[in-house]
């Protein structure tokens, strides 16, 4: 049995080099389209709790809209300190549905 659950429809994914917030259960997920690759990570910036899904994508990173902390969407690592990480989640698209493994 798969541990993947439906997050959204493929048509709801963010455009190229943008991020969006999606809610699944009690979690809010930041889904980003970084240079054509769809990634999913926790939506909460570890600096001051900023909403990463409302941030911008620049230079292959997600930039928090509150204070500019930059995050690697593939690894969840903070650009300035790799020991600081937000959880990242496997994501896939099947039959027009975006599936995530939490």
Residue of 40, 35, 37, 41 whose CA lies nearest to 17: 35
pTM, rounded to two decimals: 0.94
Residues 30-49 have pLDDT tens digits of 999 999 999 999 999 999 99
Whether residue 13 is predicted with pLDDT greater than 70 in this model: the reply is yes
Going from N- to C-terminal start, the domains of the chain cover 4-101
Which CATH number does 4-101 carry?
Answer: 2.102.10.10
| Residues 79-89: tens digit of each pLDDT | 999 999 999 99
- For residues 65-76, average pLDDT: 96
Q: Is pLDDT above 90 for 66?
A: yes
Query: What pLDDT does residue 2 have?
Result: 73
């Amino acid at each position: 049995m798969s541990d993947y659950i439906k997050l959204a429809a493929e048509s709801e994914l963010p455009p190229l080099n943008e991020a969006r917030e999606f809610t699944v259960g009690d979690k809010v997920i930041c889904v980003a389209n970084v240079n054509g690759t769809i990634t999913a990570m926790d939506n909460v910036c570890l600096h001051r709790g900023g909403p990463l899904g409302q941030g911008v994508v620049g230079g292959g990173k997600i930039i928090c809209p509150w204070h500019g902390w930059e995050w690697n969407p593939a690894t969840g690592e903070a650009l300035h300190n790799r020991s600081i990480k937000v959880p990242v989640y496997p994501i896939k698209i099947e039959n027009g549905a975006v599936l995530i493994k939490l």
